Chains A and B, each alone.
Chain A
Amino acid sequence: MGNYYINGIGCISAQDSSDNETGFQNFVELTENLVPLHKPDYKKYIKPNMIRRMSVGVKMGVVASSIALQEAGVEIPEAIVTGSGMGCLRDSEKFLKNIVDNDEQFLTPTAFIQSTHNTVGAQIALGLGCKAYNITYVHDATSFETSLIDAMMMMDEGEQNILVGGVDEIGSYTTDLHKLVGHVKEDVSDSLLNSNTKGAIYSEGSQFFVLENEKKDNSYAQLVAIEIYNELSENEVSQIFDSFLKDNNLTISEIDLIVLGVNGDVDYDNYYISLQDSILKNTPQAYYKHFSGEYNTASAFGMWTACNIIKSQEVPDRLMLNTLKSSSIKNVVLYNQYRGKNHSFVLLKSC
Chain B
Amino acid sequence: MSKGVAITGMGIISSIGKTVEENFQSLVNKTPGISEIEGISTIHKDHIKVGEVKITNEELCSFLNLPSSNNYSRTALLAEIAAKEAIKNAGITDINSCKTGLISATSVGGMDLTEKFYYSQFEEEINRKFINSHSAGDSSTKVANSLGITGFVSTISTACSSAANSIMLGARMIKSGKLDRVIVGGADCLSKFTINGFKTLMILSETDCRPFDANRTGLNLGEAAAFLVLESDECVKKENKKVLGYVSGYANANDAFHQTASSEDGEGATLAMKKALKIAGVSSKEIDYINAHGTATENNDASESAAIRRVFGDNLPEVSSTKAYTGHTLAAAAAIEAVYSILALQNGVVFPNLNFETPIAETNIIPETEVLQKELNYVLSNSFGFGGNCSTLIFSKA
Contacts and interface: CB of A to CB of B under 8 A. Distances in A.
A126 B267 contact: no
A327 B260 CA distance: 53
Given A116-B386, A136-B156, A122 B259 contact: yes
Given A85-B137, A122-B387, A136-B156, A107 B169 contact: no
Interface string A118-131: 11011101101111
Given A104-B43, A112-B200, A181-B131, A96 B111 contact: yes
A125 B271 CA distance: 15
A96 B115 CA distance: 7
Contact of A115 (B150, B197, B254): B197
B118 A96 contact: yes
A136 B157 contact: yes
Interface residues of B, number: 67
B388 A116 contact: no
Interface in B317-376: none
A119 B259 contact: yes
A48 interface: no
Interface in A93-122: 95-97, 99-100, 103-105, 107-109, 112-119, 121-122
B268 A131 contact: yes
Given A96-B114, A138-B136, A180-B131, A104 B155 contact: no
Interface stretch (A226-234, A253-261, A329-337): A226-234
B156 A108 contact: no
A118 B150 contact: no
A122 B44 contact: no
Interface string B87-129: 0000000000000001000110001001100110110000010
Interface in B168-194: 169, 172-173, 176, 178, 192-193
A298 to B, nearest CB: 15
Interface in B128-160: 128, 131-132, 134-138, 140-141, 144-145, 149-159
Interface residues of A, number: 64
A126 B256 contact: yes
B389 interface: yes
A156 B277 CA distance: 20
Contacts of A132: 253-254
A100 B115 contact: yes
A139 B201 contact: no
Contacts of B385: 116, 118
Nearest to A93: B114
B165 interface: yes
A134 B257 CA distance: 13
B301 interface: no
Contacts of A109: 197, 200-201
A113 B107 CA distance: 13
B255 interface: yes
Contacts of B114: 96
A229 B259 CA distance: 33
Contacts of A104: 42-44, 192, 196
Please indicate which of the listed interface residues B43, B141, B158, B176 has the most CB atoms of chain A within 10 Å of its own CB. B158
Given A103-B43, A153-B173, A136 B158 contact: yes
A176 interface: yes
A150 B254 CA distance: 17
Contact of A176 (B122, B132, B173, B259): B122
Contacts of A86: 135-136
Contacts of A230: 102, 141, 144-145, 149-153
Interface in B205-255: 251-255
A137 B150 CA distance: 18
A296 B155 CA distance: 13
Contacts of B260: 113
Interface string A12-40: 00000000000000000000000000000
Contacts of B154: 137, 139, 142, 146, 228
Nearest to B42: A104
A128 to B, nearest CB: 8
A131 B253 contact: yes
A231 B254 contact: no
Contact of A177 (B111, B131, B152, B178): B131
A113 B172 contact: no
Contacts of B256: 125-126, 128-131
27 contacts: A86-B135, A104-B42, A104-B192, A107-B196, A107-B199, A109-B200, A112-B197, A116-B159, A116-B386, A117-B159, A121-B387, A122-B254, A122-B386, A122-B387, A129-B256, A131-B254, A134-B158, A136-B156, A136-B158, A138-B106, A138-B156, A140-B141, A142-B153, A177-B121, A181-B131, A230-B145, A231-B144
Given A117-B158, A125-B387, A135-B158, 7 more contacts: A92-B193, A122-B254, A131-B271, A135-B252, A139-B155, A140-B135, A296-B135
Interface of B: 42-44, 102, 106-107, 111, 114-115, 118-119, 121-122, 128, 131-132, 134-138, 140-141, 144-145, 149-159, 165, 169, 172-173, 176, 178, 192-193, 196-197, 199-201, 251-260, 267-268, 271, 385-389
